Chains A and B, each alone.
Chain A
């Protein structure tokens, strides 16, 4: 028999929004503790939730991207439990009617596509953050009430590679759509991993949940460790000792540890949140929200591949929406897509990483790069010149670029250029002689003189032809 793992993921991602999901406190990263806290976030007596419309819009957007069925009415539930990071003693979440159910998403995987079935996606509030010190614990309520999207997949994955491909793709969608920064370093993504091992083609094995894994690399570790633990037990004939339970990742010792079993599962006593009236989902609103969905990375990848761009470069282009947007902007200037892709993937990305900046701080406008590459393509400037202009512009000297723009109408009049060249040759007897004596690099001197005379407007290829004619 062949044993295979089956994995389902619950991905929690903090949403980007101006204020928190049920309070007017700012939803923003802060290095100080407890400075973005309203009376709602610390559950003072008498507070009521005020639902943030921006969060609803973004939830609808994500549910639509995931091809989910949207509910007729939006409402919320209370999940009741006591913990010091939960000031109200209940979390407002969506248990009865998630914002989206029964969806799917196609994820780029290897060279093809992996279809992942989505059980549901729902909107809820985050808890406060507790820091445990030696003798005391500190609570930071800045995170209390931050909007969270919880995305639950069906048990559809069979390897960690599939899981990571899915998570990375969802993260890029969150970033593309501006629903979330999805920044793992800021702790904005946390996952619960459900793992079972069973015979291929047979029923699922017993499901074990590993809670609160906070990075993609740890998710891979958790999958390796837990799959091995379960397989070892099965292979030892101890499959009955795999219990439906909740475990956590013990990073220091590279193992998972039991938290609680099925019998002591918490009864959250869910019931409908009475302070938020049911909101009828307006079809017009859904239309308006979904009509503006930005082109997603998978679609862009397909489009780029169709342009003949190689796979590795495609990946670089779509990793960050802003890079891809920049690429698409320059492409509008009818430049060669492959030349452009290489230029973006090597020259620009190299520069950005060297300077450790983002494309939004990059000083060359898409239309200017388009101009530059057009000149290069038509051989109106050499690649060396292009590089010089590129660097000069980035160093703050935009004059050359502007001149380049001014000389958009290029002088290709052979007769006129012939006259100019013959004059220069006539007035430079010494250089002509040196050239004929073997200093062939003086050729560029003549080209330069012509360019100077024509203020850069001369077609360099024609000029070169004419100079060759005179000198040889």
Chain B
């Protein structure tokens, strides 16, 4: 589908900005998507850049010099960074206009959008539902048509899951393609910069701007020979995708819910669509014990890295400084300002790193992670990508939602972490509706194969009627 950004290129940018800010406020009222709204955002001198004066939303875990950056946490509720993330710098340099910074689960640690310090985020399709997390406000604002794109971050599925719940496109490129400099970390080996938009073309355009080696992030690599947008229309005839039988065959589930049945049904419909455009889709098997281990492997590694990454939050150099002697200052700061969900994860992380536990939990988790990644790479020798439903249902209700997931659905709800384990390029596109609410399908390919993955996603999205949809447009 044609890029929204390209269409807006010739719009009256002054009107666009004015209208966007109005929509920002509407969306804030409806969904509570934002921590900070840039009411004084100014137009840049119009340039040749494709993003010149295109408004966007930035997740509030990207450092923005001189502008509040909270990570949706009380520990940083007044923190104004003296330096900018590379993502923000690149977008500013390209002339894009940040109109708001979006609410997230505190420091990205959550999948609901309900744990930010400024309150819960609602789904614009139905405000009794979650938008998904952790990049909740970014997803909600793109789904509501506020901005053509928004930046998220993705450690387990924090871009790709909310994209599915909000009926939009969510893409995280290969690990290291975009610099993480200035991104408040959750789990460094799993953290990815990700982009939301309503079309595959738009995420391609934005990542083309963001990607590149950055001397401030040693994990970045030279991707100057990659041009995602230019390859979107490459032929996909004869490409091959696979899916896991263990997750997509309804007979593997005991007492499947109606929602799950519909998800699988829509998935099968999508497979048929894909086959019709000349892409082969094959059922494959993957060791069940490895699939079942994904949530715990993810928990061990992400919590371990998180507890270390967030040890700088003591209130000594920045953040609210508490009283007492030095130990009390640190303890009080962390006790008073972190939510209980985060503290629970810190305790898990600390536990699995303890000398007597490390081998059993953390090191074993690393081993399983490596096994999964190795196996996936073997599959990628024969396939262009893995395709799976993003979730067992449409977005769940706000009321009653927790991060605890039904055991039998745990793998279906968490498999996208495979993309983080291996640093694989991974994209969610909308592929159907259940009771008028969007669901998504995810495609994950081999590292460095982003052009191929996006071309496939683009062709598939073109073959279905969901790309480009805006929440509330049909009402």
Contacts and interface: CB of A to CB of B under 8 A. Distances in A.
Interface in A36-57: 39, 42-51
Nearest to B219: A277
Interface in A402-447: none
A89 B358 CA distance: 19
Nearest to B73: A45
A44 B83 contact: yes
A386 B215 CA distance: 58
Nearest to A43: B312
Contacts of B188: 274-275
Contact of A87 (B182, B184, B185, B312): B312
Interface residue tally on A, bucketed by range: 20 to 34
Given A267-B354, A267-B355, A84 B311 contact: no
Contacts of A49: 218
B317 A275 contact: no
Given A45-B69, A88-B312, A89-B311, A274 B218 contact: no
Interface string B175-205: 0000011111101110000000000000000
Contact of B353 (A43, A48, A271, A276): A271
B53 interface: no
B452 interface: no
Interface stretch (B20-28, B74-82, B390-398, B429-437): B74-82
Contacts of B83: 39, 44
A269 B355 contact: yes
A80 B353 contact: yes
Contacts of B218: 48-51, 275-277
A88 B313 CA distance: 8
A137 B327 CA distance: 13
A73 interface: no
Contacts of A46: 61-63, 81, 85, 180-185
Given A45-B81, A50-B215, A274-B188, A82 B314 contact: yes
A45 B184 contact: yes
A45 to B, nearest CB: 5
Interface residues of B, number: 46
A90 interface: yes
B326 interface: yes
Interface in B212-227: 215-219
B137 interface: no
Contact of A50 (B183, B216, B310, B318): B216
Most B-side CB within 10 Å, residue of A42, A46, A137, A274: A46
B304 interface: yes
A349 B470 CA distance: 84
B308 interface: yes
Contacts, number: 98
Nearest to B83: A39
Interface in B78-126: 79, 81-83, 85
Contacts of B358: 269, 271
Contacts of B450: none
A406 B184 CA distance: 71
B292 to A, nearest CB: 24
A147 B183 CA distance: 25
A139 B321 CA distance: 15
B229 interface: no
A271 B362 contact: yes
B230 interface: no
B305 A82 contact: no
A80 B330 CA distance: 15
Query: Which among A45, A137, A139 has the greatest number of chain B C-beta atoms within 10 A?
Result: A45
B181 A48 contact: yes
A78 B310 CA distance: 13
Nearest to A265: B355
Contacts of B3: none
Contacts of A84: 314, 316, 326
A90 B305 CA distance: 11
Given A46-B181, A48-B181, A82 B311 contact: yes
B350 interface: yes
Contact of B79 (A45, A50, A271): A45
A268 to B, nearest CB: 9
Contacts of A39: 81-83
B167 interface: no
B71 interface: yes
A343 to B, nearest CB: 51
Contacts of B318: 44-45
Interface in B288-322: 304-305, 307-308, 310-314, 316-318
A54 to B, nearest CB: 15
Interface string B317-356: 1100000001100100000000000000000001001110
Contacts of B181: 46-48
A274 B302 CA distance: 12
B76 A45 contact: yes
Contacts of A276: 218
A84 B317 CA distance: 9
B82 A44 contact: yes
A42 B314 contact: no
Contacts of A48: 180-181, 216-218
Contact of B63 (A45, A51, A274, A275): A45
B353 A88 contact: no
B243 to A, nearest CB: 30
A45 B63 CA distance: 8
A271 B308 contact: yes
Nearest to B356: A267
Contacts of A47: 181-182
Interface string B1-20: 00000000000000000000
A42 to B, nearest CB: 5
Contacts of B316: 84, 87, 139
Contacts of B307: 80
Interface in B36-89: 61-63, 69, 71, 76, 79, 81-83, 85
Contact of B219 (A43, A139, A275): A275
B332 to A, nearest CB: 13
B317 A89 contact: no
B216 A90 contact: no
B421 to A, nearest CB: 13
B214 to A, nearest CB: 9
Contacts of A43: 312, 317
Listed residue (B182, B308, B330) with the most chain A CB atoms within 10 angstroms of its CB: B308
Nearest to A79: B308
- Most B-side CB within 10 Å, residue of A39, A87, A269: A269
Task: Count chain B CB atoms within 10 A of each CB in A82, A137, A139, A276 and give the residue with the most.
Answer: A82
B13 to A, nearest CB: 30
Interface in A247-290: 267, 269, 271, 274-277
A137 B316 CA distance: 12
Contacts of A42: 317
Contacts of A44: 63, 81-83, 312, 317-318
A41 B396 CA distance: 43
Nearest to B311: A89
Contacts of B62: 46
A44 B64 CA distance: 12
> Which among A43, A84, A90, A271 has the highest number of chain B CB atoms within 10 Å?
A271
B151 to A, nearest CB: 14
- The residue among A88, A137, A274, A276 with the most chain B CB atoms within 10 A of its own CB is A274
10 contacts: A39-B81, A45-B71, A46-B62, A46-B85, A50-B218, A89-B310, A139-B316, A274-B305, A275-B188, A276-B218
Given A47-B181, A82-B314, 5 more contacts: A44-B63, A89-B312, A89-B314, A275-B218, A275-B219
| Closest 3 pairs (CB-CB, A-B) | A89-B311, A274-B189, A269-B353
Interface of A: 39, 42-51, 78, 80, 82, 84, 87-90, 137, 139, 267, 269, 271, 274-277
